[in-house]
Amino acid sequence: MDMPSGRHEQSFHATQTGSFAVSESMLNGRTPRTFQTEGRTPSLSEMSPWSLGTSVWGRSKSSVKTPRGAIVVALCLVGLGVSVASLVMPFPPWVPRPDEISLVLFTLCGFAFLLGGLFISLWHPKNRIGVLMMAASFAWFSENLLRIDSNITFTVAAFSYILYLAIIEHIFIVFPYGYMRSATDHVLVIANYCWCLGLNALGMLVWDSTRDDCFNGGCPRNLLEIYRSSALNLAIGRVLCDGSCLLMTGTLFLVAFRWRQATVATRRIMTPMALGAIPVAASTLIDQGVQYGTAWPSDLWSQPGQWLLVAVPLSVLLGLLRLRLGHAALTELVVQLSALPQGESLETLRQLLRKTMHDPTADFGHRYSEGAPLINTDGHVINLAMARSTHGVHELEDAGGTVYGVLLYDPILDQDPRLVRAVVEAVKFAVQNKRLEAERQARLKEIQALTVRMVAAADTERRRIERNLHDGGQQTLLALGILLARCHKKARDGDLSTLPELLSNASEMTRSVVDELRDFCRGMHPTILSEAGLEAALESLQHRSPLDVSLDLLLPERLPALAETTAYFVASEALANATKHAHANVVTIRAVIESAELVVEIKDDGMGGATFHDGGGLQGLADRVAAVHGQFQVHSLAGDGTRMTVRIPCA
């Protein structure tokens, strides 16, 4: 051990204290309790759409118990019934019979709304768009009630059929979130409903449905009629048309504006719907234009623009499907991540994320050490508060709850929390894998270095033994050989005068060799340690030391031999250093068992300033302790004595 004059405080941890635990939740499949969707954008579908799906398509009776499943099945059946009815219901004399194609198109359009609504309800149960689509479907099919010879149904149908238009615009406005996000949204949606229903109701107050200009004439009676005025009815109808077109144009503008403002990931989902809005608007304008100037559309079933409305369920479905397409890409992500070479940078991971999430703004921040800032692969520090204002944020925690990374993504993706969570888990898995691998590599390196040092230490030790034997015993024995040869020669030559003295020398030399060998053997491994244990061996050290050594030992029982030997050598070396290098006067040795660890502390009042260096005594001790999975710490401030602490597991 060297004692340079500089100030040093060193701490050597022989074992790496890093955590090797894989996230518990990953192992047992439980949902990590830390998962959350950042509240800012309310999640619309927390529950698994697929679990709902299986319950609908029912593998077992118990799964059909889900009320939602039952409702969906019922709605499906009702929709099917209504569609079939739409096709086969007879056309009464007052309704002009449409051609077959128009009737099929009409029915398909309504059915497409229903089916689209059902799918969306399944995928995103909390997204109201599904319900809105189904409502639009029923409003659409309510036209068929006009074919029933009943004043009540006729009145209801005449009132409600126009509702589909308001609902479609409602869908456009709230897409893809399903709820209204601004005052404009509220104004537009409410205005639409009021306009359609209010003006229609107003018109019905002055509409005589039995007159000739309603369909073929001879329709059931409009129960809302309180005053007959075809002029007033016509005027109201025109206002309704103008207003509808105006509102539709407003909605179109809103959608276009929203699209322009949207992020890339959001646009990806909005684009089909935005494109779908164009034929819908066209349809509205065409149909409104055709019936403009009439009190009542001459033929509701074969309106030229109506089939364009199929674009609505299709585009909405397509948009939300694109959101789900991430799930397919997820498979790819998992595959790619698992094949990610060890040396691959986090940049590759980020690129994979961006591809999977279809979000070029997706980012990954990593903390390189505890307490360090989160840094992305561009080297930028990620400010979580700022990131939250623009992105969905998911913090990655290890099993101990320490945040080691963060995932940033377009908040639109929160519409599909399962995708986000799956990506998070995949990334966690990949990152933790990398971390584990890095830890493993580091540990391996440490062990390799340790092995080299151990071999070197063993070599040094062998050299020391050889030197001791060479310089001590062997030389004395060689000298003894010479002495005895001289005795022999003198005895042979009859020169006996000096013989007694020479023989006395020889005997003295023999004793000297024996003493040397005894000391040497004790240095190799003190017998007392194996026979009587660490406590006795430390007491023996105390007796033989020239220093004032005080012992504080509490070792009620014998410990594993390796632990005892290691602790003994640390104490012995520390004592030797205190004597030879540190010029200490007082040394305290404390040895206790603390939570299945043998803790030995050696403190001296010497000059301190001990340092680790390769091949040095301290390094040798540290390696020795590391080899038995212990910890070794040295506090040695220049001028403030040296304190060595060794902890050796004994369990």
Partner 1 sequence: MRIIVAEDHVFFRKGLVNTLTDFGHDIIAQFPDTEKLADRVRADAPDLVILDVRMPPTHTTEGLKAAQQIRASFPEMGILVLSAHVETQYLGKLIADSSGYIGYVLKDRVANLDEFSRLMSDIAEGKSVIDQTVVKDLLNRANNRAALARLTDRERKVLELMATGRSNKTIAGRLGLSRRSVESAVSDVFNKLDLPDREDDQRRVLAVITYLQS
Residues in contact with partner 1 by the rule CB under 8 A: 467, 470-471, 474-476, 478-486, 489, 509, 512
Backbone angles phi, psi at 395, to 5 degrees: -85, 140
Least distance (Å) from partner 1 to the CB of residue 520? Answer: 16
Least distance (Å) from partner 1 to the CB of residue 519? Answer: 16
Least distance (Å) from partner 1 to the CB of residue 502? Answer: 9
Helix (H) / strand (E) containing 406: strand 403-409
Per the CB < 8 A criterion, the answer to whether 254 and 188 are in contact is yes
Q: Residue 371 is encoded by which pair of tokens?
A: 């307490």
Least distance (Å) from partner 1 to the CB of residue 491? Answer: 12
Nearer to partner 1, 78 or 502 (CB): 502
DSSP 24-85: HHHHH-PPPTT----SSS--S--S-HHHHHHHHTTSSHHHHT-HHHHHHHHHHHHHHHHHHH
Least distance (Å) from partner 1 to the CB of residue 485? Answer: 4
Distance between CA atoms of 145 and 155, rounded to whole angstroms? 9
Distance between CA atoms of 636 and 642, rounded to whole angstroms? 4
Least distance (Å) from partner 1 to the CB of residue 512? Answer: 8
Q: Residue 94 is encoded by which pair of tokens?
A: 């007052």
Least distance (Å) from partner 1 to the CB of residue 453? Answer: 22
Nearer to partner 1, 467 or 518 (CB): 467
Nearer to partner 1, 447 or 482 (CB): 482
- Whose tokens are 């405080």? That residue is 9
Least distance (Å) from partner 1 to the CB of residue 479? Answer: 4
Per the CB < 8 A criterion, the answer to whether 589 and 549 are in contact is yes
Distance between CA atoms of 400 and 429, rounded to whole angstroms? 15
The identity of residue 467, as a single letter, is R
Tally Cβ neighbours within 10 Å of residue 367: 17
Nearer to partner 1, 152 or 477 (CB): 477
Nearer to partner 1, 13 or 464 (CB): 464
Cis peptide before 556 (omega within 30 of 0): no
Least distance (Å) from partner 1 to the CB of residue 610? Answer: 24
Per the CB < 8 A criterion, the answer to whether 48 and 54 are in contact is no
Least distance (Å) from partner 1 to the CB of residue 470? Answer: 6
Give just the sign of the alpha carbon dihedral 433, 436, 439, 445: negative
Nearer to partner 1, 471 or 552 (CB): 471
Closest CA to 568 of 545, 550, 541: 541
Nearer to partner 1, 80 or 514 (CB): 514
Least distance (Å) from partner 1 to the CB of residue 19? Answer: 48
Angle (nearest 5°) at CA 122 between 117 and 124: 90
- Whose tokens are 């007879």? That residue is 90
Q: Residue 499 is encoded by which pair of tokens?
A: 């013989």
Nearer to partner 1, 262 or 480 (CB): 480
The identity of residue 554, as a single letter, is L
Distance between CA atoms of 7 and 70, rounded to whole angstroms? 78
Nearer to partner 1, 16 or 474 (CB): 474
Nearer to partner 1, 225 or 516 (CB): 516
Nearer to partner 1, 517 or 627 (CB): 517
On the 0-12 / 13-18 / 19+ scale of CB atoms within 10 A, 143 is buried
Per the CB < 8 A criterion, the answer to whether 609 and 641 are in contact is no
Least distance (Å) from partner 1 to the CB of residue 481? Answer: 4
Helix (H, G, I), strand (E, B) or coil at 12: coil
Nearer to partner 1, 168 or 487 (CB): 487
- Sequence-distant (6+) residues with CB within 8 A of 345 are 377
Nearer to partner 1, 387 or 483 (CB): 483
Least distance (Å) from partner 1 to the CB of residue 471? Answer: 7
Cα–Cα separations (whole angstroms), residue 435 to 31, 131, 256, 286, 442: 22, 46, 46, 63, 10
Give just the sign of the alpha carbon dihedral 112, 114, 118, 123: positive
Residue 649 pairs in a beta bridge with 597
Residue 406 pairs in a beta bridge with 365, 395
The identity of residue 479, as a single letter, is A
Nearer to partner 1, 510 or 550 (CB): 510
Least distance (Å) from partner 1 to the CB of residue 583? Answer: 23
Least distance (Å) from partner 1 to the CB of residue 2? Answer: 18
Residue 642 pairs in a beta bridge with 636
Nearer to partner 1, 471 or 614 (CB): 471
Least distance (Å) from partner 1 to the CB of residue 482? Answer: 4
* Stated length of the chain: 651
- Sequence-distant (6+) residues with CB within 8 A of 310 are 108, 109, 112
Per the CB < 8 A criterion, the answer to whether 571 and 541 are in contact is yes
Nearer to partner 1, 514 or 554 (CB): 514
